[in-house]
Structure 1
Amino acid sequence: MANLTIVSVDDEYPALELIRHYCERMEDVDLLEVFQNPQDALEYLKENRVDLVILDINMPYINGIELLLQLPYKPLCIFLTLETQYAVKAFELDVVHYLVKPVDFETFRKAVTKAKDFLQFKKSTEDQKKEDFIMFKSNYIMNKVLLEDIKWIQGFGEYIILITHLKKYMILERMSNFEEKFQNLGFIRIHKSYIVLSSHISSYDTANVYLKDGEKLPLGRTYKNSLKAYLN
Protein backbone atom coordinates (compact mmCIF):
# COMPACT_ATOMS: atom_id res chain seq x y z
CA MET A 1 0.00 0.00 0.00
CA ALA A 2 1.24 3.52 -0.83
CA ASN A 3 2.25 5.86 1.96
CA LEU A 4 -0.47 7.82 3.73
CA THR A 5 -0.33 11.41 2.45
CA ILE A 6 -0.89 14.10 5.08
CA VAL A 7 -1.37 17.85 5.26
CA SER A 8 -1.32 19.62 8.63
CA VAL A 9 -2.91 22.99 9.38
CA ASP A 10 -2.33 24.93 12.61
CA ASP A 11 -1.82 28.63 13.18
CA GLU A 12 0.78 27.86 15.87
CA TYR A 13 4.21 27.14 14.40
CA PRO A 14 5.45 24.97 17.33
CA ALA A 15 2.46 22.65 16.84
CA LEU A 16 3.33 22.20 13.16
CA GLU A 17 6.95 21.48 14.02
CA LEU A 18 5.87 18.85 16.55
CA ILE A 19 3.65 17.15 13.96
CA ARG A 20 6.51 17.25 11.46
CA HIS A 21 8.78 15.62 14.03
CA TYR A 22 6.19 12.94 14.88
CA CYS A 23 5.60 12.11 11.20
CA GLU A 24 9.34 11.74 10.62
CA ARG A 25 9.35 9.04 13.29
CA MET A 26 6.62 7.03 11.55
CA GLU A 27 6.84 4.68 8.60
CA ASP A 28 4.54 4.75 5.58
CA VAL A 29 3.44 8.37 6.00
CA ASP A 30 4.28 11.40 3.87
CA LEU A 31 3.71 14.83 5.37
CA LEU A 32 3.33 16.78 2.13
CA GLU A 33 2.74 20.30 3.45
CA VAL A 34 2.13 22.26 6.66
CA PHE A 35 0.23 25.55 6.80
CA GLN A 36 -0.10 28.25 9.41
CA ASN A 37 -2.62 30.11 7.24
CA PRO A 38 -5.81 28.03 6.86
CA GLN A 39 -6.84 29.93 3.72
CA ASP A 40 -3.61 28.89 2.02
CA ALA A 41 -4.27 25.34 3.14
CA LEU A 42 -7.78 25.45 1.69
CA GLU A 43 -6.50 26.56 -1.70
CA TYR A 44 -3.85 23.83 -1.69
CA LEU A 45 -6.30 21.11 -0.69
CA LYS A 46 -8.77 22.15 -3.38
CA GLU A 47 -6.06 21.50 -5.96
CA ASN A 48 -4.42 18.46 -4.37
CA ARG A 49 -6.11 15.37 -2.97
CA VAL A 50 -4.58 13.94 0.19
CA ASP A 51 -5.46 10.98 2.37
CA LEU A 52 -5.48 12.74 5.74
CA VAL A 53 -5.69 16.30 7.05
CA ILE A 54 -4.65 17.12 10.61
CA LEU A 55 -6.50 20.28 11.61
CA ASP A 56 -6.52 22.72 14.46
CA ILE A 57 -10.00 24.15 15.02
CA ASN A 58 -9.66 27.65 16.47
CA MET A 59 -7.76 29.52 13.75
CA PRO A 60 -8.08 33.03 12.27
CA TYR A 61 -10.10 33.71 9.11
CA ILE A 62 -11.48 30.18 8.84
CA ASN A 63 -11.65 27.48 11.49
CA GLY A 64 -10.82 23.83 10.97
CA ILE A 65 -14.44 22.68 10.74
CA GLU A 66 -15.26 25.31 8.10
CA LEU A 67 -12.16 24.36 6.15
CA LEU A 68 -13.10 20.69 6.13
CA LEU A 69 -16.66 21.44 4.98
CA GLN A 70 -15.43 23.56 2.05
CA LEU A 71 -13.28 20.85 0.49
CA PRO A 72 -14.60 19.39 -2.80
CA TYR A 73 -13.79 15.86 -1.57
CA LYS A 74 -13.78 14.14 1.80
CA PRO A 75 -10.33 13.26 3.11
CA LEU A 76 -9.82 11.53 6.43
CA CYS A 77 -9.42 14.04 9.25
CA ILE A 78 -7.86 14.24 12.69
CA PHE A 79 -8.64 17.31 14.77
CA LEU A 80 -5.70 18.31 16.97
CA THR A 81 -6.79 21.22 19.11
CA LEU A 82 -6.94 22.89 22.51
CA GLU A 83 -10.72 23.09 22.21
CA THR A 84 -12.96 20.42 23.76
CA GLN A 85 -16.42 21.75 22.92
CA TYR A 86 -16.36 20.62 19.27
CA ALA A 87 -16.15 16.88 19.92
CA VAL A 88 -19.82 16.26 19.08
CA LYS A 89 -19.52 18.19 15.82
CA ALA A 90 -16.39 16.22 14.99
CA PHE A 91 -18.33 12.99 15.54
CA GLU A 92 -21.01 14.22 13.13
CA LEU A 93 -18.29 14.84 10.52
CA ASP A 94 -16.98 11.27 10.90
CA VAL A 95 -13.45 12.38 11.76
CA VAL A 96 -10.93 9.65 12.52
CA HIS A 97 -9.89 11.07 15.88
CA TYR A 98 -10.28 14.12 18.11
CA LEU A 99 -7.04 14.86 19.95
CA VAL A 100 -6.70 17.51 22.63
CA LYS A 101 -3.33 19.27 22.95
CA PRO A 102 -0.77 18.51 24.23
CA VAL A 103 -0.47 15.13 22.52
CA ASP A 104 2.40 12.71 23.05
CA PHE A 105 3.92 10.70 20.22
CA GLU A 106 2.25 7.40 21.08
CA THR A 107 -1.23 8.96 21.12
CA PHE A 108 -0.51 10.67 17.81
CA ARG A 109 0.88 7.46 16.30
CA LYS A 110 -2.24 5.49 17.27
CA ALA A 111 -4.52 8.11 15.71
CA VAL A 112 -2.59 8.16 12.41
CA THR A 113 -2.42 4.35 12.39
CA LYS A 114 -6.19 4.28 12.78
CA ALA A 115 -6.46 6.50 9.70
CA LYS A 116 -4.10 4.21 7.76
CA ASP A 117 -6.11 1.13 8.73
CA PHE A 118 -9.38 2.80 7.73
CA LEU A 119 -7.98 3.85 4.36
CA GLN A 120 -6.60 0.38 3.69
CA PHE A 121 -9.97 -1.17 4.51
CA LYS A 122 -11.76 1.31 2.25
CA LYS A 123 -9.43 0.63 -0.66
CA SER A 124 -9.66 -3.13 -0.24
CA THR A 125 -13.44 -2.85 -0.30
CA GLU A 126 -13.33 -0.74 -3.45
CA ASP A 127 -11.05 -3.28 -5.12
CA GLN A 128 -13.59 -6.03 -4.63
CA LYS A 129 -16.03 -6.75 -7.45
CA LYS A 130 -18.59 -3.97 -7.43
CA GLU A 131 -22.31 -4.65 -7.59
CA ASP A 132 -23.80 -3.83 -10.99
CA PHE A 133 -27.05 -2.46 -9.55
CA ILE A 134 -28.43 -0.31 -6.75
CA MET A 135 -31.54 -0.66 -4.61
CA PHE A 136 -33.65 2.30 -3.49
CA LYS A 137 -37.19 3.18 -2.43
CA SER A 138 -39.39 5.29 -4.72
CA ASN A 139 -43.15 5.75 -4.28
CA TYR A 140 -43.07 3.29 -1.34
CA ILE A 141 -41.63 0.55 -3.59
CA MET A 142 -38.12 -0.91 -3.51
CA ASN A 143 -36.56 -0.68 -6.95
CA LYS A 144 -33.56 -2.42 -8.44
CA VAL A 145 -31.80 -0.55 -11.25
CA LEU A 146 -28.74 -1.65 -13.18
CA LEU A 147 -25.85 0.82 -13.12
CA GLU A 148 -25.53 0.67 -16.89
CA ASP A 149 -29.11 1.94 -17.22
CA ILE A 150 -28.60 5.06 -15.06
CA LYS A 151 -28.08 8.27 -17.04
CA TRP A 152 -27.68 10.73 -14.16
CA ILE A 153 -29.08 11.84 -10.81
CA GLN A 154 -30.50 15.33 -10.41
CA GLY A 155 -31.14 17.05 -7.08
CA PHE A 156 -34.19 19.08 -6.06
CA GLY A 157 -33.79 20.03 -2.40
CA GLU A 158 -34.95 17.13 -0.26
CA TYR A 159 -35.56 14.98 -3.35
CA ILE A 160 -33.49 13.54 -6.16
CA ILE A 161 -34.57 12.33 -9.57
CA LEU A 162 -32.79 9.20 -10.80
CA ILE A 163 -32.98 9.19 -14.58
CA THR A 164 -32.55 5.95 -16.53
CA HIS A 165 -32.92 5.12 -20.19
CA LEU A 166 -36.44 3.84 -19.53
CA LYS A 167 -37.98 5.98 -16.76
CA LYS A 168 -37.45 8.50 -13.98
CA TYR A 169 -37.60 7.74 -10.26
CA MET A 170 -38.34 10.34 -7.59
CA ILE A 171 -36.51 9.51 -4.36
CA LEU A 172 -36.91 11.23 -1.00
CA GLU A 173 -33.21 11.71 -0.30
CA ARG A 174 -30.70 14.56 -0.42
CA MET A 175 -27.94 14.56 -3.02
CA SER A 176 -25.23 14.42 -0.36
CA ASN A 177 -26.74 11.30 1.19
CA PHE A 178 -26.98 9.51 -2.16
CA GLU A 179 -23.43 10.51 -3.03
CA GLU A 180 -22.04 9.17 0.23
CA LYS A 181 -24.09 5.96 0.11
CA PHE A 182 -23.07 4.94 -3.43
CA GLN A 183 -19.73 6.66 -4.03
CA ASN A 184 -17.88 3.32 -3.96
CA LEU A 185 -19.82 2.32 -7.09
CA GLY A 186 -18.26 5.11 -9.13
CA PHE A 187 -20.78 7.94 -8.73
CA ILE A 188 -19.24 11.41 -8.77
CA ARG A 189 -20.68 14.88 -8.15
CA ILE A 190 -20.11 17.22 -11.12
CA HIS A 191 -22.47 20.03 -10.12
CA LYS A 192 -24.49 21.04 -7.08
CA SER A 193 -27.48 19.46 -8.84
CA TYR A 194 -25.94 16.56 -10.79
CA ILE A 195 -24.28 13.22 -10.06
CA VAL A 196 -23.13 10.81 -12.77
CA LEU A 197 -21.28 7.53 -13.01
CA SER A 198 -17.62 8.09 -13.82
CA SER A 199 -17.71 5.15 -16.23
CA HIS A 200 -20.36 6.98 -18.31
CA ILE A 201 -18.23 10.11 -18.81
CA SER A 202 -16.79 10.51 -22.30
CA SER A 203 -15.07 13.88 -21.85
CA TYR A 204 -15.38 17.28 -20.20
CA ASP A 205 -14.37 20.88 -20.72
CA THR A 206 -14.46 24.01 -18.57
CA ALA A 207 -18.27 24.18 -18.50
CA ASN A 208 -19.74 20.77 -19.36
CA VAL A 209 -19.45 17.03 -18.90
CA TYR A 210 -20.19 14.88 -21.95
CA LEU A 211 -21.61 11.39 -21.48
CA LYS A 212 -20.99 8.42 -23.75
CA ASP A 213 -24.62 8.42 -24.89
CA GLY A 214 -24.24 11.98 -26.22
CA GLU A 215 -25.90 13.82 -23.33
CA LYS A 216 -24.34 17.04 -22.01
CA LEU A 217 -24.52 18.13 -18.36
CA PRO A 218 -23.21 21.28 -16.65
CA LEU A 219 -19.90 21.12 -14.76
CA GLY A 220 -19.93 23.21 -11.59
CA ARG A 221 -16.94 25.45 -10.99
CA THR A 222 -16.26 24.05 -7.52
CA TYR A 223 -16.33 20.45 -8.79
CA LYS A 224 -13.80 20.79 -11.64
CA ASN A 225 -10.74 19.95 -9.59
CA SER A 226 -12.29 16.94 -7.86
CA LEU A 227 -13.50 15.59 -11.22
CA LYS A 228 -10.04 16.03 -12.74
CA ALA A 229 -8.39 14.32 -9.76
CA TYR A 230 -10.90 11.47 -9.80
CA LEU A 231 -10.57 10.73 -13.51
CA ASN A 232 -6.80 11.08 -13.53
Structure 2
Amino acid sequence: MTSVAIDDEPLALELIKNYAGQLPGLELVKIFNDPIAGVHFLKSKPVDLLFIDINMPDISGLDLVRSLKVKPLIIFTTAYKDFAFDGFELEAIDYLLKPFDFDRFSKAVQKAQDFYSFKHGAQTDTEESLFVHSEYKLIKIPISQIEYIESLEDYIRIHLTNAKPVLTLMSLKKVCEKLPHDKFKRIHRGYIIPVSKVKAIANRKVLLTSGKELPISESYLQFIQEWKNS
Protein backbone atom coordinates (compact mmCIF):
# COMPACT_ATOMS: atom_id res chain seq x y z
CA MET A 1 0.00 0.00 0.00
CA THR A 2 1.21 3.49 -0.82
CA SER A 3 0.61 6.25 1.71
CA VAL A 4 1.02 9.95 2.44
CA ALA A 5 1.14 11.76 5.80
CA ILE A 6 -0.05 15.34 6.30
CA ASP A 7 0.52 17.13 9.61
CA ASP A 8 1.62 20.64 10.50
CA GLU A 9 3.79 19.26 13.32
CA PRO A 10 7.23 18.12 12.03
CA LEU A 11 7.78 15.82 15.03
CA ALA A 12 4.49 14.03 14.34
CA LEU A 13 5.51 13.50 10.72
CA GLU A 14 8.87 12.09 11.76
CA LEU A 15 7.15 9.68 14.14
CA ILE A 16 4.82 8.44 11.40
CA LYS A 17 7.77 8.13 9.01
CA ASN A 18 9.66 6.08 11.61
CA TYR A 19 6.70 3.80 12.37
CA ALA A 20 5.75 3.33 8.70
CA GLY A 21 9.32 2.30 7.88
CA GLN A 22 9.01 -0.63 10.27
CA LEU A 23 5.90 -2.10 8.64
CA PRO A 24 6.12 -4.45 5.64
CA GLY A 25 3.74 -3.78 2.81
CA LEU A 26 3.44 -0.06 3.59
CA GLU A 27 5.27 2.57 1.53
CA LEU A 28 5.23 6.14 2.81
CA VAL A 29 5.58 8.04 -0.46
CA LYS A 30 5.58 11.61 0.85
CA ILE A 31 5.11 13.66 4.03
CA PHE A 32 3.75 17.22 4.12
CA ASN A 33 3.64 19.84 6.89
CA ASP A 34 1.79 22.13 4.46
CA PRO A 35 -1.75 20.74 3.96
CA ILE A 36 -2.32 22.75 0.75
CA ALA A 37 0.78 21.20 -0.84
CA GLY A 38 -0.50 17.83 0.32
CA VAL A 39 -3.85 18.40 -1.39
CA HIS A 40 -2.19 19.28 -4.70
CA PHE A 41 -0.04 16.14 -4.52
CA LEU A 42 -2.98 13.85 -3.75
CA LYS A 43 -5.06 15.28 -6.59
CA SER A 44 -2.30 14.52 -9.09
CA LYS A 45 -0.96 11.31 -7.56
CA PRO A 46 -3.60 9.38 -5.57
CA VAL A 47 -2.37 6.93 -2.92
CA ASP A 48 -3.98 4.04 -1.06
CA LEU A 49 -3.79 5.42 2.49
CA LEU A 50 -3.66 8.88 4.03
CA PHE A 51 -2.49 9.72 7.57
CA ILE A 52 -3.81 13.16 8.34
CA ASP A 53 -4.04 15.53 11.29
CA ILE A 54 -7.36 17.30 11.83
CA ASN A 55 -6.53 20.62 13.48
CA MET A 56 -4.23 22.40 10.99
CA PRO A 57 -3.90 25.99 9.73
CA ASP A 58 -5.40 27.03 6.36
CA ILE A 59 -7.57 23.90 6.06
CA SER A 60 -8.69 21.26 8.53
CA GLY A 61 -7.95 17.62 7.85
CA LEU A 62 -11.70 16.97 7.68
CA ASP A 63 -12.24 19.59 4.98
CA LEU A 64 -9.18 18.39 3.11
CA VAL A 65 -10.55 14.85 2.94
CA ARG A 66 -13.96 16.15 1.85
CA SER A 67 -12.30 18.07 -0.99
CA LEU A 68 -10.76 14.96 -2.54
CA LYS A 69 -12.71 13.44 -5.43
CA VAL A 70 -10.69 10.24 -5.20
CA LYS A 71 -10.50 9.42 -1.51
CA PRO A 72 -7.83 7.08 -0.16
CA LEU A 73 -8.37 5.08 3.01
CA ILE A 74 -8.11 7.52 5.93
CA ILE A 75 -6.42 7.29 9.32
CA PHE A 76 -6.88 10.50 11.30
CA THR A 77 -4.10 11.50 13.72
CA THR A 78 -5.06 14.19 16.20
CA ALA A 79 -4.66 15.43 19.76
CA TYR A 80 -8.41 16.14 20.05
CA LYS A 81 -11.13 13.62 20.90
CA ASP A 82 -13.96 15.90 19.81
CA PHE A 83 -13.65 15.11 16.10
CA ALA A 84 -14.30 11.36 16.37
CA PHE A 85 -17.84 11.60 15.00
CA ASP A 86 -16.69 13.66 12.01
CA GLY A 87 -14.11 10.98 11.26
CA PHE A 88 -16.83 8.36 11.51
CA GLU A 89 -19.00 10.24 8.98
CA LEU A 90 -16.06 10.26 6.55
CA GLU A 91 -15.70 6.48 7.03
CA ALA A 92 -12.18 6.71 8.39
CA ILE A 93 -10.40 3.42 8.93
CA ASP A 94 -9.20 4.53 12.35
CA TYR A 95 -8.73 7.51 14.62
CA LEU A 96 -5.35 7.75 16.37
CA LEU A 97 -5.27 10.00 19.42
CA LYS A 98 -1.89 11.63 19.97
CA PRO A 99 0.44 10.60 21.45
CA PHE A 100 0.13 7.07 20.02
CA ASP A 101 2.74 4.32 20.19
CA PHE A 102 3.98 1.91 17.53
CA ASP A 103 1.62 -0.89 18.60
CA ARG A 104 -1.45 1.32 18.22
CA PHE A 105 -0.16 2.65 14.89
CA SER A 106 0.50 -0.84 13.52
CA LYS A 107 -2.99 -2.02 14.50
CA ALA A 108 -4.51 0.89 12.59
CA VAL A 109 -2.39 0.09 9.53
CA GLN A 110 -3.37 -3.58 9.74
CA LYS A 111 -7.03 -2.57 9.64
CA ALA A 112 -6.32 -0.52 6.53
CA GLN A 113 -4.42 -3.40 4.90
CA ASP A 114 -7.23 -5.85 5.69
CA PHE A 115 -9.83 -3.51 4.21
CA TYR A 116 -7.65 -2.78 1.18
CA SER A 117 -7.29 -6.53 0.52
CA PHE A 118 -11.03 -7.00 0.98
CA LYS A 119 -11.86 -4.23 -1.50
CA HIS A 120 -9.45 -5.61 -4.08
CA GLY A 121 -10.57 -9.21 -3.68
CA ALA A 122 -7.30 -10.42 -2.21
CA GLN A 123 -8.00 -11.33 1.40
CA THR A 124 -4.99 -12.79 3.12
CA ASP A 125 -7.02 -15.50 4.86
CA THR A 126 -9.77 -17.85 3.77
CA GLU A 127 -12.32 -16.41 6.19
CA GLU A 128 -14.92 -14.24 4.47
CA SER A 129 -15.54 -11.02 6.35
CA LEU A 130 -17.88 -8.07 6.54
CA PHE A 131 -16.45 -4.61 7.27
CA VAL A 132 -18.63 -2.04 9.05
CA HIS A 133 -18.11 1.22 10.91
CA SER A 134 -19.15 1.17 14.55
CA GLU A 135 -18.17 3.28 17.56
CA TYR A 136 -15.94 5.50 15.40
CA LYS A 137 -13.86 2.65 14.02
CA LEU A 138 -13.85 0.07 11.27
CA ILE A 139 -14.71 -3.42 12.47
CA LYS A 140 -13.96 -6.68 10.69
CA ILE A 141 -16.67 -9.30 11.27
CA PRO A 142 -16.13 -12.91 10.11
CA ILE A 143 -19.38 -13.84 8.39
CA SER A 144 -19.27 -17.27 10.02
CA GLN A 145 -19.87 -15.46 13.34
CA ILE A 146 -23.09 -13.74 12.21
CA GLU A 147 -26.20 -15.22 13.86
CA TYR A 148 -28.68 -12.82 12.28
CA ILE A 149 -29.00 -9.14 11.35
CA GLU A 150 -31.77 -6.94 12.66
CA SER A 151 -33.04 -3.65 11.24
CA LEU A 152 -33.44 -0.65 13.56
CA GLU A 153 -34.69 2.02 11.13
CA ASP A 154 -31.49 3.81 9.98
CA TYR A 155 -29.25 1.36 11.84
CA ILE A 156 -28.74 -2.38 11.86
CA ARG A 157 -27.72 -4.63 14.73
CA ILE A 158 -25.48 -7.56 13.80
CA HIS A 159 -25.91 -10.38 16.31
CA LEU A 160 -22.80 -12.51 16.70
CA THR A 161 -21.75 -15.86 18.11
CA ASN A 162 -20.01 -15.46 21.49
CA ALA A 163 -19.68 -11.68 21.14
CA LYS A 164 -21.79 -8.63 21.81
CA PRO A 165 -23.90 -7.31 18.89
CA VAL A 166 -22.44 -4.65 16.60
CA LEU A 167 -24.54 -1.57 15.85
CA THR A 168 -23.82 0.33 12.64
CA LEU A 169 -25.41 3.06 10.54
CA MET A 170 -26.55 1.09 7.49
CA SER A 171 -29.75 -0.14 5.91
CA LEU A 172 -30.70 -3.80 5.73
CA LYS A 173 -30.72 -3.51 1.93
CA LYS A 174 -27.16 -2.18 1.89
CA VAL A 175 -25.73 -4.87 4.14
CA CYS A 176 -27.53 -7.51 2.10
CA GLU A 177 -25.59 -6.31 -0.97
CA LYS A 178 -22.31 -6.80 0.92
CA LEU A 179 -23.04 -10.39 1.99
CA PRO A 180 -22.72 -13.57 -0.12
CA HIS A 181 -26.16 -13.98 -1.72
CA ASP A 182 -26.05 -17.76 -1.49
CA LYS A 183 -25.28 -17.72 2.24
CA PHE A 184 -27.59 -15.01 3.58
CA LYS A 185 -31.29 -14.45 2.92
CA ARG A 186 -33.76 -11.80 3.90
CA ILE A 187 -36.86 -13.29 5.53
CA HIS A 188 -38.56 -10.14 6.73
CA ARG A 189 -38.26 -6.37 6.29
CA GLY A 190 -36.51 -6.46 9.65
CA TYR A 191 -34.25 -9.54 9.42
CA ILE A 192 -31.47 -11.21 7.42
CA ILE A 193 -30.32 -14.70 8.40
CA PRO A 194 -27.46 -17.06 7.46
CA VAL A 195 -29.01 -20.05 5.68
CA SER A 196 -26.56 -22.46 7.31
CA LYS A 197 -27.91 -21.60 10.77
CA VAL A 198 -31.55 -22.45 10.05
CA LYS A 199 -32.50 -25.44 12.20
CA ALA A 200 -36.20 -25.63 11.36
CA ILE A 201 -39.12 -23.71 9.85
CA ALA A 202 -42.67 -23.94 11.21
CA ASN A 203 -45.71 -21.66 11.20
CA ARG A 204 -43.91 -19.02 9.14
CA LYS A 205 -41.13 -18.81 11.69
CA VAL A 206 -37.45 -19.69 11.41
CA LEU A 207 -35.75 -21.45 14.29
CA LEU A 208 -32.00 -20.80 14.29
CA THR A 209 -29.38 -23.13 15.73
CA SER A 210 -28.86 -20.58 18.52
CA GLY A 211 -32.47 -21.08 19.60
CA LYS A 212 -33.59 -17.66 18.33
CA GLU A 213 -36.96 -17.66 16.55
CA LEU A 214 -37.68 -15.06 13.83
CA PRO A 215 -40.79 -14.41 11.71
CA ILE A 216 -41.00 -14.84 7.93
CA SER A 217 -43.12 -12.10 6.37
CA GLU A 218 -45.57 -12.55 3.49
CA SER A 219 -43.18 -10.95 1.00
CA TYR A 220 -40.43 -13.49 1.71
CA LEU A 221 -42.36 -16.76 1.89
CA GLN A 222 -40.39 -18.07 -1.11
CA PHE A 223 -37.52 -18.60 1.31
CA ILE A 224 -39.36 -21.58 2.81
CA GLN A 225 -39.35 -23.43 -0.52
CA GLU A 226 -35.77 -22.40 -1.23
CA TRP A 227 -34.68 -23.79 2.12
CA LYS A 228 -36.53 -27.09 1.51
CA ASN A 229 -34.78 -27.47 -1.84
CA SER A 230 -31.32 -26.60 -0.55
**Band of TM-score, shorter chain:** 0.5 to 0.7
RMSD, matched Cα: 1.8
1:100 partnered with 2:97: yes
Task: Tell me what 2:60 maps to.
Answer: 63
Secondary structure at 2:4 match in 1: strand
Report the secondary structure of 1:112's partner residue. Answer: helix
Correspondence 1:11 to 2:5 = no
Offset at 1:49?
1.1
Q: Distance in 1 between matches of 2:63 and 2:80?
A: 15
Which 5+ residue runs of structure 1 have no aligned equivalent? 126-180, 182-232
**For the residues of structure 2 that align with 1:53 and 1:83, how far apart are their CA atoms?**
18
Q: 2:26 matched to 1:26? A: no
**1:84 is aligned to 2:86:** no
1:26-65 equivalence runs, <5 A: 26-65=23-62
1:99 is aligned with what amino acid? Answer: L
For residue 82 of structure 1, report the CA deviation from its aligned partner. 0.4
The runs of 5 or more residues in structure 2 that have no matched partner are 123-177, 179-230
Helix, strand or coil at the partner of 1:124: coil
Q: Distance in 2 between matches of 1:43 and 1:72?
A: 12
1:150-193 deviations in whole A, cap 9, x for unaligned? xxxxxxxxxxxxxxxxxxxxxxxxxxxxxxx9xxxxxxxxxxxx
**Rounded Cα–Cα distance in structure 2 between residues aligned with 1:92 and 1:19:** 24
Q: Among the aligned pairs, what percent are the same residue?
A: 45
The structure having more radius of gyration, on CA atoms, is: 2
- 2:81 is paired with a residue whose SS is coil
Report what 1:229 is aligned to. none
Q: CA shift at 1:60, angstroms? A: 0.4
Once residues 89 and 25 of structure 1 are traced to their aligned partners in structure 2, the CA distance between those partners, rounded to angstroms, is 29
Distance 2:80 2:65 in 1: 16
Q: Tell me the SS of whatever aligns to 1:50.
A: coil
Partners in 2 of 1:42 and 1:10 — Cα distance? 12
**Separation of aligned partners in 2, 1:95 and 1:88:** 10
TM-aligned CA deviation for residue 12 of structure 1: 0.3
Which residue of the partner structure matches residue 215 of structure 2? Answer: none
Correspondence list, 1:203-218, <5 A: none
Per-residue CA deviation, residues 89-134 of structure 1 (Å, 9 max, x unaligned), is: 1111100001100000000000001001000000008xxxxxxxxx
In structure 2, the partner of 1:113 is: 110
The one-letter amino acid of 1:115's match is A
How big is the shift at 1:65? Answer: 0.3
SS in 2 for 1:106: helix
